[in-house]
Amino acid sequence: MKPIATTRSAMGIMTGKLAVYWVLVSEIVIFGGLLACYVMNRIAHVEWAEQAAHTNTWAGAFNTLILLSSSLSAVLAHQAAEKGNGKKAANLLYLTCLGGLVFLIVKSFEWTHEIKAGFTIQSSGFWAYYYTAAGLHAFHVIAGMLVMLWVASTAKKNQELHRVENVGIYWHFVDLVWIFLFPLLYIAK
């Protein structure tokens, strides 16, 4: 028996996909609230620019490239799934996960360097926002990777291929958040 997410279409959209969008709505509120507060404080405290000068722009740019590339593989996986090629879709999802892993490795090196330099979450308002926003985003990357591995395992058997699009939508959103985090935390100095 097929799950209701694939058989019922509410408001002209599959229930599973609609549920993903509802998740994204909550994510917009979470990340949007956090980033809006960061922007407010950043404007109110010009001295934060001095702190932001210590973030590694090249590491942030490299991670942006990695996430944009992983979004490409995610959308290509969706394309393959729509053509009924589950094996190709699964391989592209694994590639997307690899992108997520590279992102996390770069981030861990970056954080190690910053913490060793004395910039911890307790150092100042800027660093508190920096670690909170980047950490929350990294948590979403990990969650996306785990779900993607599960989706790939079923897609490989040509089963539940609609999930490839659903997990892809989530992954693109994670990419979108980083697109805004990058200039806010790394470029505005």
Partner 1 sequence: MSADAHGHHETNYVKIWAILVGLLVVSVLGPMLGHPVITLITAFGIALIKAYLVAKNFMHLNVEKPIVHWTLGAALVLMVLLYAGIMPDVGRASGERWKKNAGWHYHGTSPHSEHSEGAEKGKGEGATGH
Number of residues lying near partner 1 (CB under 8 A): 64
Q: How far is the CB of 183 from partner 1 (least distance, A)?
A: 4
157 binds partner 1 (CB under 8 A): no
Q: Which of 29, 121, 142, 143 binds partner 1 (CB under 8 A)?
A: 29
Question: Looking at beta carbons only, is 8 or 189 nearer to partner 1?
Answer: 189
Question: Looking at beta carbons only, is 81 or 145 nearer to partner 1?
Answer: 81
Q: Which of 6, 41, 85, 158 binds partner 1 (CB under 8 A)?
A: 41
139 binds partner 1 (CB under 8 A): no
Q: How far is the CB of 12 from partner 1 (least distance, A)?
A: 5
Start-to-end C-alpha separation, the chain: 55
Over the window 91 to 110, marking each residue x when it contacts partner 1 by CB under 8 A and - when it does not, the resulting string is: --------------------
**Span from 48-56, 94-102, 132-140, 146-154 in contact with partner 1 (CB under 8 A):** 48-56
Question: Looking at beta carbons only, is 1 or 9 nearer to partner 1?
Answer: 9
What is the DSSP annotation of the chain? Answer: ---HHHH-EETTEEHHHHHHHHHHHHHHHHHHHHHHHHHHHHHH-TTHHHHHTTS-HHHHHHHHHHHHHHHHHHHHHHHHHHTT-HHHHHHHHHHHHHHHHHHHHHHHHHHHHHHHTT--TTT-HHHHHHHHHHHHHHHHHHHHHHHHHHHHHHHTTT--THHHHHHHHHHHHHHHHHHHHHIIIII--
Question: Looking at beta carbons only, is 1 or 15 nearer to partner 1?
Answer: 15
